[in-house]
Amino acid sequence: MTAMQIFFLITGLVILGSALMVVTTRNLIHAALWLIVTLFGVAVLYAILNASFLAVVQVVVYIGAIAILFIFAVMLTRKEMRDRGPQLNTGWWLNAIIALLTFGGLFWMLQGWNGFSKTAADFPSGYDAVGQLGKALISPDAFVLPFEVASVLLLAALVGSVYLAFNRK
């Protein structure tokens, strides 16, 4: 077992443990803080996968914006919940069985696939992954249209959420 594999296993355990805390902890502020740990673990996975740009975007967009938005939303809607009473539905064990079955089904489907235990080839020498990604995002032959559509979607969501959350009184 190489050092990289041990590092991956530690990261994976941190991700899964904190994700379990996100879905089970009673205090929602704590759940949002555990979500930050999970997102940071995923950023580490991107770094392991040589996707450096995505690792940075994960920290900036997910931890810097989305997780903070969650903390604000929890604080704005706190009065009613007060973290008392059960936080899970009464049939939660049934949902746990559904989740386990989903995992089992995915695992069963994947282990029958012949590319399952393939290892990564090294990058070709002088290969610039971030530069290639930037070129792919603005090249008309590649992904400029989906990229622009995503920016229009962000603008529409921004206008829509301001309209929804605006206090008319």
Partner 1 sequence: MIPLSWFLILSAALFSIGLFGVLSRKNAVAILLGIELMLNAVNINLVSFWRYGDVSQMAGQVFAIIVFAVAASEVAVGLALVISVYRRRNTVIADELDLMKW
Which residues, numbered 32-61, are part of the site for partner 1 (CB under 8 A)? Answer: 32, 35, 38-39, 42, 45-46, 48-51, 53-54, 57-58, 61
Cβ at position 51, least distance to partner 1 in Å: 5
Q: Which 57-86 positions form the footprint of partner 1 (CB under 8 A)?
A: 57-58, 61-62, 65-66, 69-70, 72-74, 76-77, 79-81, 86
Tokens encoding 145: 């249209």
What's the rounded Cα separation, in Å, for the pair 135 and 144? 9
**Minimum CB distance to partner 1, residue 147 (Å):** 7
With respect to partner 1, which residue has the nearer C-beta, 100 or 140? 100
Residue 91 binds partner 1 (CB under 8 A): yes
94, two tokens: 């049934």
User: Shortest distance, CB of residue 153 to partner 1, whole angstroms?
Assistant: 6
Draw the binding track, 150-169, toward partner 1 (x: CB under 8 A; -: no contact): xx-xx-xxx-xxx-xx-x--
| Beta carbon of residue 45, minimum distance to partner 1 (angstroms, whole number) | 6
Compute CA distances 167 → 70, 78, 158, 163, whole Å.
19, 18, 16, 9
Q: Which of residues 92-111 bind partner 1 (CB under 8 A)?
A: 92, 95-96, 98-100, 102-103, 106-107, 110-111
Cα–Cα distance measured from residue 145 to residue 138, given in angstroms and rounded to the nearest whole number: 9
Q: 122: which DSSP letter?
A: P
**Residue 140 vs 162, nearer CB to partner 1:** 162
**CA angle, corner 37, sides to 34 and 43, nearest 5?**
145
Residue 133 within binding range of partner 1, rule CB under 8 A: yes
Q: Which residue's structure tokens are 């559904």? A: 98
Show Cβ contacts of residue 45 under 8 Å, excluding neighbours closer than 6 positions.
8, 11, 15
Tokens of 168: 């008319």
